[in-house]
Structure 1
């Protein structure tokens, strides 16, 4: 098959093309830093006092960015060493820990890639090492993430740029490289951002799926643990850590562990089957996930909150509802895709020879897993109370992300199924929120 047939030129550009790619590339690091400086005891609160005056905000920002020492303060040699060491640990763990090799979905070139499944083992090994460190030296031994937050964030952003640039250059190595259908526009800025190669790898090491589940996702939990340790040191010991902090750690650690346990399901997601690996995914996996999703734990480290029995019950109930919807919906989808239908769910035949679920959770809305995810996202923020809107950034951002992803999925399915997709949408009209959207 010729290169032009296998890798047709991209004609439709997402994110409004190059301007959108440049905007996201600029905005994501800025927001990541802003969430720290806008919600930190070092700047006076969450938000800091001057945040209530636009003129004061502008004055503070101008004073900071015009100061060379402020820019130098974003980089920390020790923090960078720690971050790159962490990434190296994850790579070594992938290589040496045992794990099954599973096949991915069939690609356009007819091939199926092999993926090593041992993310959960890496997670457990990391937790074991951290637990041993804390047990031996006390919680103060693991507060360095709180102390070196900015340096670690900067290192993760640098790593994201390095990886995006490497895989973009490597995608030109020969004509047999399988490109992402959305990443072959010919514009270097856009293709670098969206991801030119579909499955960049170094030998058996698949860069995209590795980044999706290991360095950032596991680091998210380690950050939460560091925030627990920070609060414990301030309050006189682990036994004085607040119920709100324990809930945030439990919810987010369970979410990550669940994702790692179900690692093979990643191979059917849009990120793996459709999207290339570029700066959009690299900074999302390596910087955005661990350093913005842990905002609630970082806030509670310097602003402890006790919920009480009824508060705990309400938050747990909300999280369990979201988790139940998320997990059962994904379970039904994965079973159906693998030829199993234990619940006898109804489906609709398509001209492509495939079927679309139209009952159960998938008959209530087109993306019930997104609905469950959003309810869980809200539950993770509720332990922070209602003194600041900043700790609720995650579900707000997540809603925008999932709506955008739903729109991309709708467009892709319309191209894939044609008239059958229009029939499907009449049977299942609601996208994420039943009777609302």
Structure 2
């Protein structure tokens, strides 16, 4: 069965995105090193290669640190206790349902404890990540590219492919293997879910923690903007960890194949690109610098908490509704449990395809209201860099918004194809996509 259509501009677009995705994190890294997060423009190619060599050369130690983190998280995923959850039936595999051991929350807290212990004891100072940002970035890029090649050809060799286009670059970019997994002592770890939930977000948080610790060691304080970012990222990562069982039934796990796009961005792109704001603040810190405007930071916190509340509770409503519909809902007391996160007897639209579309709670106001909240949080991260005005901090929210809009378009096309006339009825009942009353 072939791909129904070419995503991301087909092969030419895939090549362009792969080149762009490799250039972007290294450019940000050089910008931080040589321009304090401003526009980096070397005077010659020779200067560029010298700067790159000095900043981003991989080392054996950096490689061991990155691989060590990967293996520790893999061990946690395999052996820590967790909630056992069944995935959706996979049509390309005779409707087989994979089982998932959702223990990310335990991995998250245990990782935080271990990080504190190894830092305090001096076994592994957290500042190593900040001091060797470029080297670890390069190791992550190399590793993700090699892993992408291995996964692609192993899937071909073992005939574990689906929805092939028979265009090599396109299939390599989008992936050919839907449910890649590894077995450790008879315990299955889904690699796609493992990379998306654990590796990307945990490494991102540790990179930001490293920037905060280094700021304190250099200047004797952690600035309010840095505290804001730590808080924002803690909330975000914690939400992903505490709701891991909800991710099992998402589009990423159920439909997206594990190709270069997901592998690279989970293992290299997300942690090192999204950490830019923390390092921008670090690079522009000064000794005895006065903290930024308290009222402005308080306003940012208010906006952040409001957006986070909508984002978390909206996704909780939807995922718990789906779980109850399938009879697999399990109440959990993970922190934080927000009000309005569970709907009692919600209104929904029953479709001919057999699914139910929620039209209650936050979801009666806009079809993708959680995207709006997510975008709002992304802009808050960028605005937290306001003490030293610049353009590059705003790349992430602009990039993220464009990615979200593209994802929205893909989702609309898929839903229209799946639900037909029911989707038109649903869109009439919930006419707005992002902001009630506007769009």
TM-score (norm 2): 0.88
Return 406-415 or 350-359, whichever deviates more. Answer: 350-359
Q: Distance in 2 between matches of 1:93 and 1:339?
A: 29
Aligned to 2:178: 198
Aligned to 2:418: 416
Aligned to 2:34: 43
Q: Distance in 2 between matches of 1:336 and 1:319?
A: 25
Aligned to 2:355: 354
Out of 264, 280, 291, the residue aligned to residue 306 of structure 1 is 291
Aligned to 2:8: 15
**How do 1:354-373 and structure 2 match up within 5 A?**
354-373=355-374
Aligned to 1:229: 213
Question: Cα deviations across residues 55-98 of structure 1 (Å, max 9, x unaligned)?
Answer: xx3x5363345659739953222211211111111112222322
Return 426-435 or 187-196, whichever deviates more. Answer: 426-435
8 A contact 2:314–2:370 mirrored in 1: yes
Does 1:403 pair with 2:405?
yes
8 A contact 1:321–1:375 mirrored in 2: no
Out of 123, 132, 137, the residue aligned to residue 117 of structure 2 is 132
Aligned to 1:141, what secondary structure does the other structure show? coil
Q: Distance in 1 between matches of 2:103 and 2:74?
A: 11
Aligned to 1:342, what secondary structure does the other structure show? coil
**How do 1:72-87 and structure 2 match up within 5 A?**
73-87=56-70
Aligned to 1:5: none
Q: Distance in 2 between matches of 1:197 and 1:160?
A: 16
Q: Distance in 2 between matches of 1:213 and 1:29?
A: 22
Unaligned runs of 5+ in 1: 1-7, 52-56
Aligned to 1:54: none
Q: Distance in 2 between matches of 1:131 and 1:363?
A: 43
Q: C-alpha displacement at 1:155, in angstroms?
A: 0.9
Unaligned runs of 5+ in 2: 326-341
8 A contact 2:178–2:256 mirrored in 1: yes
Q: C-alpha displacement at 1:314, in angstroms?
A: 0.5
Does 1:328 pair with 2:313?
yes
8 A contact 1:406–1:431 mirrored in 2: no
**How do 1:94-113 and structure 2 match up within 5 A?**
94-108=77-91, 109-113=94-98
Aligned to 2:76: 93
8 A contact 1:120–1:257 mirrored in 2: yes
Q: C-alpha displacement at 1:178, in angstroms?
A: 5.4
Q: Distance in 2 between matches of 1:287 and 1:66?
A: 21
Aligned to 2:339: none
Q: Distance in 1 between matches of 2:46 and 2:97?
A: 54
Out of 262, 268, 272, the residue aligned to residue 243 of structure 2 is 262
Task: Kindly report the root-mean-square deviation, in angstroms, between the aligned alpha carbons of the 2 structures.
Answer: 2.2
Does 1:291 pair with 2:284?
no
Q: Distance in 1 between matches of 2:355 and 2:127?
A: 52
Out of 70, 91, 101, the residue aligned to residue 53 of structure 2 is 70
Aligned residues: 412
Question: Cα deviations across residues 222-248 of structure 1 (Å, max 9, x unaligned)?
Answer: 111100111011113xxx211221111
8 A contact 1:80–1:155 mirrored in 2: yes
Question: Cα deviations across residues 187-213 of structure 1 (Å, max 9, x unaligned)?
Answer: 121111101011111232211011011
Q: Distance in 1 between matches of 2:182 and 2:397?
A: 35
Question: Cα deviations across residues 120-147 of structure 1 (Å, max 9, x unaligned)?
Answer: 2222222112212333349x93211111
Q: Distance in 1 between matches of 2:46 and 2:347?
A: 61
TM-score (norm 1): 0.89
8 A contact 2:55–2:135 mirrored in 1: no
Question: Cα deviations across residues 404-427 of structure 1 (Å, max 9, x unaligned)?
Answer: 110010011011011221222222
Q: Distance in 1 between matches of 2:54 and 2:263?
A: 23
Q: C-alpha displacement at 1:292, in angstroms?
A: 1.2
Q: Distance in 1 between matches of 2:399 and 2:249?
A: 24
Q: Distance in 2 between matches of 1:231 and 1:253?
A: 18
Aligned to 2:3, what secondary structure does the other structure show? coil
8 A contact 1:178–1:199 mirrored in 2: no
Classify 1:145/1:110 alpha carbon distance in 2 versus 1 (closer, same or farther; 3 Å).
same
